[in-house]
Structure 1
């Protein structure tokens, strides 16, 4: 254990002027193509399942086991997601945060091409597994990298760009899928091109990867101090860079004396608390039904009596609205405490599901039914995505990356992504059968446990907003694991000199 200790209410004073440079924004924007690729890859199945040409090609409109095969397409994607989430820790800690983005990008690239070229349903299902592996690996690796290159004051906004880019991927998948529905080639294979488009964003980020910085925290963890110093000077104001370098360096010296095994996540009290919070947040957010409503959006619209073209258009509107609200979320994510956004957002989102269930139960989609009920149900689905993206979606990725210390962050994100994947295997596997057999009652499976989670999040989740990643340990009772920077004036002057020299060169 480290000799130095500070009180649990410690807060290191960062520079008051702007902490970031335009370089921050450029590298975050470039990495957002990986997030976009993940969003597109995860969402394109929604419009694909609504394409008559896709259903006809694989005989899903006539086969008796069609519902089972459709469930398997989504279930195996999430099974791949579970295994992909393991790579966040294994590759990210050993070979670097960038390598943990390069490998899954290649997986999405290859699997996307093979999905677009599938010749039978077995091939399609098999590559859905690898697509899920790459997509979910990106889902966890990108915010880890972003959180480690962003300055504390702006971390929430910059990391939330990951969520906004995901939503843009969802939006693009919806409209490209809808557009190709109205294209009628002689071969009747218009379902292939939308699947192939998922290769484009990850190809772009692979082209950028050479110029994107490695995480300075990972570099210092692996004794590559000079590289870390150069990157910090590019990323931050020189004074903030000096503080960050000294703080990270000293914190890593402390981290190296700490337990970092998987077992320690259970045996050590403060790590166990983080584990429970991560598991709770992972399960709780999925209890809002977000992936079910997105992936089976056309199915839900069909149950409300809409035609195929209307299903695709409403799905496009749903994801476009989500993208817009994800952008607006950048304005609030650092203005309210994390527990307020998580607990309050969950409660509000579930309120729209309560209204949705009540409307569908009161106005079932039968001939002659009131159009007012149908319009109300559609409005609730749209309000659902407004609040989900404005309050919840981006906040969860920020929180996952914040609550874990540097030496355990990749393990923590692995736990989060693996848990989300396992929960979604269950929901996505049963959803087609549930919608077909119990209808609106399926929403109750989300509403009841979701409200229980909202109460628990409000009571037990600590606020990590505006704290440096190395400072957050104190609020989990690990104040003795923080090295408090007492004086970085000399280092700041040295780094200012180096920065000026680099500018002259």
Structure 2
């Protein structure tokens, strides 16, 4: 079925404003996830918890990062319960509340055990909001502009990273034994903004329609989208929700039904494949990596801040890129080098994204050859590789993954599908972040090979085999997986109505003849 969508821009400017307002939730995750990188470099933090003298300091640092991801992995599976039962906004609100409370407790930690335990719950809240926000964004944006608008989620979480780096750097220069506490407490601010603004945000029209709240859904669509687009969407979504209510919606169905299982594998392949790029290792252990290259603590924090500033700028630029290229080509090309494409514009994107894996290979070679030497030019080149790397990562991968995995699933499974995708991110980062300090200490540059080799394999798999959901209405994606009978077909419905009217007319004529 080909849907007749309205032409041109399909969203109302209020739609854009609500997306930006809700992106404070995305910023909440970004700040919470990133603030640990500068915290671990704070002399006051290391002195307070004796991390500069303890023999088990490396293990404790690994646990601080690893347990955060474990909390995220377990916590994210609760999002679908809140999102499907109480609404997409409720899922965001609960997540923001957890992040608010844990931010205060982290800042007030009195011993390392308390800090580590609270990090577990902080990870749960952060990854819950990382999942909840794009669920809502995918469902309130129109198909033509969905990639760009959902990618605001990625840009906002990058702003959280950026802000964490510079707040941490500012408090690094504060001469106080408690200087490490304020940056951790600051993560409460964006979460508080979300909680204050949430009652004024529109609920997802798809959630409202699947719960038979037609009038509210119609009003929200008319407020958020252009009038022509709102009318088209209202008809299709309302009929589609009647079908979706009859379909299986459990996690078990995502494993047992072949078409749902394929979606699940594609979702995990996307998020886990992207994590093979090693982005969070570079982010969370950035100061340590720069320290290994010979830079002092002040320089380490400046370099991390510059890296994240560049990441944020690249994330903003990606808003104007994502809706011009097929999803798998951009994601696969963004992970590693791929073959030439038939279409010229696709080829240009892939050639540019080849830089990503090349940067890691060059970084690996520079670290192997020049760490521990006085070759400043080579060490500066190693830093430059990190900077070039993050430009292309943010242009092609970070925000797009949330749009793509949100597009793969129908409304009755979208929250669960997004949960699985974000859980994949957590699972990969549990492995990488827990292993990284020990790996860098024992095998050094060879650890980069753990990203380069499997990353290239996943890139090829995504590029050549994953379906493209670019510009397809959410209600029609099911056709890509063979579920034609689960899609409301307007043309088929119209034909059935015409046939029914014709049969009724024939029946009336026959009676008149008698």
Compute the TM-score of the two structures, normalised by the length of structure 2.
Answer: 0.91
> Any idea what the Cα deviations from partners look like across 1:327-352, whole Å, max 9, x if unmatched?
00011100011011101000132221
Question: 2:211 is matched with which residue: 197, 216, 222?
Answer: 222
Q: CA deviation at 1:255?
A: 1.3
Task: Work out the CA distance in 2 between the residues paired with 1:191 and 1:414.
Answer: 32
> Any idea what the Cα deviations from partners look like across 1:312-332, whole Å, max 9, x if unmatched?
000000100000000000111
Question: 2:49 is matched with which residue: 49, 58, 61?
Answer: 58
Q: CA deviation at 1:254?
A: 1.4
Q: CA deviation at 1:485?
A: 2.4
Question: 1:384 is matched with which residue: 366, 389, 395?
Answer: 389
The answer for the alignment partner of 1:21 in structure 2 is 12
Task: Work out the CA distance in 1 between the residues paired with 2:357 and 2:275.
Answer: 11
Q: CA deviation at 1:86?
A: 0.6
Question: 2:252 is matched with which residue: 250, 263, 267?
Answer: 263
> Any idea what the Cα deviations from partners look like across 1:292-330, whole Å, max 9, x if unmatched?
110000010011111000000000001000000000001
The answer for the alignment partner of 1:400 in structure 2 is 405
1:132 and 2:137 are equivalent in the alignment:
no
The answer for the alignment partner of 1:246 in structure 2 is 235
- Does the 8 Å contact 1:365/1:374 carry over to 2? no
> Any idea what the Cα deviations from partners look like across 1:109-160, whole Å, max 9, x if unmatched?
0000110111111111111011100100011110010010011111111100
Q: CA deviation at 1:275?
A: 1.0
Matched residue SS, 1:251? helix
The count of residues paired between Structure 1 and Structure 2 equals 476
Question: 1:359 is matched with which residue: 362, 366, 369?
Answer: 366
- Does the 8 Å contact 1:246/1:488 carry over to 2? no
Alignment of 1:23-422 (within 5 A): 23-185=14-176, 188-347=177-336, 348=354, 349-366=356-373, 369-422=374-427
Task: Work out the CA distance in 2 between the residues paired with 1:448 and 1:11.
Answer: 40
The answer for the alignment partner of 1:452 in structure 2 is 457
Task: Work out the CA distance in 1 between the residues paired with 2:36 and 2:256.
Answer: 41
Matched residue SS, 1:35? helix
- Does the 8 Å contact 1:464/1:472 carry over to 2? yes
Matched residue SS, 1:152? coil
Task: Work out the CA distance in 2 between the residues paired with 1:321 and 1:385.
Answer: 8
Task: Work out the CA distance in 2 between the residues paired with 1:460 and 1:411.
Answer: 23
- Does the 8 Å contact 2:9/2:145 carry over to 1? no
Q: CA deviation at 1:393?
A: 0.4
CA separation of 1:17/1:391 partners in 2, compared to 1, >3 Å: closer, same or farther?
closer
Q: CA deviation at 1:18?
A: 2.5
> Any idea what the Cα deviations from partners look like across 1:329-381, whole Å, max 9, x if unmatched?
01110001101110100013222111100111121223xx2111101100101
1:433 and 2:442 are equivalent in the alignment:
no
Q: CA deviation at 1:487?
A: 10
CA separation of 1:71/1:315 partners in 2, compared to 1, >3 Å: closer, same or farther?
same
Matched residue SS, 1:137? helix
- Does the 8 Å contact 1:343/1:457 carry over to 2? yes
> Any idea what the Cα deviations from partners look like across 1:178-234, whole Å, max 9, x if unmatched?
11111213xx21111111110001101111011001111001111111111111111
Range that drifts further, 109-118 or 238-247: 238-247
| Ranges in structure 1 where 5+ consecutive residues have no aligned partner | 1-9, 490-505
Task: Work out the CA distance in 1 between the residues paired with 2:31 and 2:6.
Answer: 38
The answer for the alignment partner of 1:443 in structure 2 is 448
Larger radius of gyration: 2
The answer for the alignment partner of 1:484 in structure 2 is 489
Task: Work out the CA distance in 1 between the residues paired with 2:251 and 2:95.
Answer: 23
Compute the TM-score of the two structures, normalised by the length of structure 1.
Answer: 0.93
Matched residue SS, 1:467? coil
Q: Where in structure 1 do 4 or more consecutive aligned residues deviate above 4 Å?
A: none
Matched residue SS, 1:334? helix
Task: Work out the CA distance in 2 between the residues paired with 1:139 and 1:202.
Answer: 12
Question: 2:467 is matched with which residue: 462, 471, 493?
Answer: 462
RMSD: 1.3
Task: Work out the CA distance in 2 between the residues paired with 1:282 and 1:335.
Answer: 21
Task: Work out the CA distance in 2 between the residues paired with 1:208 and 1:96.
Answer: 16
Task: Work out the CA distance in 1 between the residues paired with 2:199 and 2:86.
Answer: 15
The answer for the alignment partner of 1:3 in structure 2 is none
Q: CA deviation at 1:488?
A: 11
